[in-house]
Amino acid sequence: MGRENTDDKMMDPEEHEMGTNVVAQQTGTDDSDAAQRIRGMRERIDEIDNAIIALWQERAALSQQVGATRVASGGTRLVLSREREILERFRDALGADGTQLALLILRAGRGAL
pLDDT digits (tens, 9 = 90+) for 82-92: 999 999 999 99
Q: How distant, in Å, are the alpha carbons of 1, 35, 60, 98 from that of 84?
A: 71, 43, 17, 13
Q: Which residues of 70-85 are buried (b: 16+ CB within 10 A; e: fewer)?
A: eeeeeeeeeeeeebee
Region of 7 on the Ramachandran plot (φ > 0 left; ψ -120 to 50 alpha; else beta) = left
Tens of pLDDT, residues 26-75: 999 999 999 999 999 999 999 999 999 999 999 999 999 999 999 999 99
Query: pTM for this one?
Result: 0.73
Q: What is the pLDDT of residues 15-37, one digit of tens each?
A: 555 555 777 789 999 999 999 99
Q: Using 50, 70 and 90 to split pLDDT, how confident is the model at 103? A: very high
